[in-house]
Amino acid sequence: MNEARESVIRVRGLRNVFGKQVVHDGLDLDVYRGEVLGVIGGSGAGKSVLLRSIVGLQEPTDGRVTLFGQDTTRLRPEDRQIIDRRFGLMFQDGALFSSLTVLENVKVPLIENFRLPAGLADEIAMLKIRLAGLPSDAAAKYPAQLSGGMRKRAGLARALALDPEVLFLDEPTSGLDPVGAAAFDALIGTLGDALNLTVFLVTHDLDSLYAICDRVAVISDRRVVVVDRIAVVERHPDPWIRQCFQGPRARSAQSHGSAQGTPA
C-alpha cells in the first residue's frame, strides 16, 4: 500500500559526520503526503540533525534529500527558495526575534517572500496568530512577555505564514506541562486535518506519538531502524525501542492514546 502513496520527503543514504563523530550512516526515510510522522531516538541519535539536513540548514556529508520530487542537494539557490516556501519550520521555544512583536515575527516570512501591502500582511499574520490558538492581543506583545506555551504557538503561527504543505516541528512540546503539551498536540492534529498538512515531528514525548502520529520512525545506530505504525514499532526488538516503550511512561502514554483514539 505504501508504494501507492506520494513521498513528499525522501532521504537516501544520508551520512552526517562531525569531526570523528558519525551521526548518520546510510539513513533512509520516506515521509508520505498528509501524514504526521513522529521521529524519535535516544539522546545524540541525530533527530534534529536529520531535520536540519532535510530543510537545508545542514549540508549532509553524503546522500540525497528529495523534497517535492526535487533533489535539494543539487538545486540552484533560486530554485531552492521556491522549495523553501512550501514548508514551515518551528524550532524549540519558537526561536522568535526578541526585538519584534508577535505580529512582526509572523510577518517576517511574508515580507521576505512577497511584496504585500502592509494592511494585507497584517491581516494574514493575524489570521495565522488566531490559527495557532493565540488571543488577538498577543499580536502586540514581545516574546519576553509571553509564556513558554504562547511562544511556541507564536513560532507555529510564523511557520504557517506561507501556507506550507509540510510542517517541520522540532520538540514542540518540550518544556510544557502535561495539559499544555496535550493542548498543543490537539492543535497540531486539528491543523493537520484542516489544512491537509504533512507533519514531520521530532519529539521525545511519548504522549505525542500515541495522540497524533500516523507513523513513527526510530533512529538508532546512525540510521532509521524501523518506521511504521506505533503498534508495530513498540514491538520491535531493538534494545532502545524496548526500553523506551516498555517502561511506566510508555504505559501511561499508551493508555492516554487509547482514550484519545490513537491513529491506526
Same domain, 111 and 141: yes
Supply the pLDDT for residue 191.
Answer: 95
Domain finish residue from 105, 131, 163: 163
Q: How crowded is the C-beta side of 199, counted as CA atoms within 13 Å?
A: 33
Same domain, 82 and 175: yes
Number of folded domains in the chain?
2
For residues 201 and 172, is the Cβ–Cβ distance under 8 A? yes
Supply the pLDDT for residue 146.
Answer: 94
Helix (H, G, I), strand (E, B) or coil at 104: helix
Count CB neighbours of 186 within 10 A: 14
In a domain, 91, yes or no: no
In a domain, 187, yes or no: yes
Domain finish residue from 131, 163, 195: 163
Name the residue among 46, 52, 33, 18 with its Cα closest to residue 225. Answer: 46
Same domain, 44 and 158: no
In a domain, 42, yes or no: yes
Which region holds residue 222: left if phi is over 0, alpha if psi is between -120 and 50, else beta? left
Same domain, 159 and 236: no
Same domain, 204 and 259: yes
Domain finish residue from 137, 163, 189: 163
Same domain, 79 and 178: yes
CATH of the domain at 238: 3.40.50.300
Same domain, 183 and 153: no
In whole angstroms, give the CA distance from residue 90 to residue 214. Answer: 20
Supply the pLDDT for residue 1.
Answer: 45
Same domain, 78 and 106: no
Supply the pLDDT for residue 264.
Answer: 40
Same domain, 222 and 239: yes
If the chain, 264 residues long, is cut into consecutive pieces of 10 residues, what is the mean pLDDT of each piece?
A: 79 96 96 97 93 93 95 85 93 86 96 88 96 96 94 96 97 92 95 96 94 96 96 92 77 56 48
Radius of gyration for the alpha carbons in the chain, expressed in angstroms and rounded: 18
Same domain, 157 and 174: no
Supply the pLDDT for residue 5.
Answer: 86
Scanning 44-172, the segments in alpha helix (DSSP H) are 47-55, 77-84, 102-113, 118-131, 148-159
- Structural domain span for residue 140: 97-163
Supply the pLDDT for residue 252.
Answer: 58
Same domain, 187 and 204: yes
In whole angstroms, give the CA distance from residue 214 to residue 223. Answer: 20
Angle at 206 between CA 200 and CA 207, to 5 degrees: 95
pTM: 0.90
